[in-house]
Structure 1
Amino acid sequence: MDDEGLDPSAPNESEQRRMALQNILDAWDEALAEGVSADILATTAIFAALSDMVEAYGEEAVAEMAAGLPDRVRQGEFTLNRVMN
């Protein structure tokens, strides 16, 4: 631990995001292999994420964040295999 109580060997935020996404994708693949439909997985994942965020930040903060999602989707932020022109 350093003077601020942080573990210098802990993964940084970028690495944590990569690890989190990999864990979610692995669980996603496992659920698909067990016969869960991709649509049900997606809606359940969104529900779980929003529920957790509401608990942590409150309904209004999450509603404000969610209000920006349509533009982010349209701009391709969530498109994994986007072709850039």
Structure 2
Amino acid sequence: MSALSDDLPLDPTLAEDVKDARRVAYCYVEDAFIEARQDGLDSDSLAHAALFAAMRTLVETYGEEATAVFAEALPEKIRCGNFTTGTRH
């Protein structure tokens, strides 16, 4: 894959596979956060470490430029509530 995108492929069958894989992956990460918090690590440290690991993996997979383009879209997604699950600030 030459570019990193949040957009799912046009093939609906493949799109469901990608959505399912992302849901399963998110559950693994969420479980790791729960376990780490139970071990006494604070959420802020976990979030920063997870973001660093995610960005490093994206750079290794897609390259620096594609990852930077992906990251440029994050402020608008954050402001629009794409990552909000509870009360918005």
TM-score normalised according to structure 1 size: 0.80
Q: How do 1:17-56 residues align onto structure 2 when only pairs under 5 Å count? A: 17-56=22-61
State the identity as a percent: 41
Question: How many pairs were matched up?
Answer: 73
**How big is the shift at 1:82?**
4.8
Aligned position for 1:77: 82
Q: Which consecutive residues of structure 2, in runs of 5 or more, have no partner in the other structure?
A: 1-15
Return 5+ residue gaps in structure 1 as ranges: 1-10
Moved beyond 3 Å, runs of 4+: none
What secondary structure sits across from 1:12 in the alignment? helix
TM-score (norm 2): 0.76
CA RMSD of aligned residues (A): 1.5
Give the distance between the partners of 1:47 and 1:23, measured in 2 at CA: 17
Tell me how far apart the structure 1 counterparts of residues 22 and 72 of structure 2 sit (CA, whole Å).
Answer: 22
Q: Which has the higher contact order (CA 8 A, sep 6+)?
A: 2
Q: Which residue pairs with 2:70 in the alignment?
A: 65
For residues 40 and 62 of structure 1, the distance between their equivalents in structure 2, rounded to whole angstroms, comes to 22
Select the structure of larger CA radius of gyration.
1
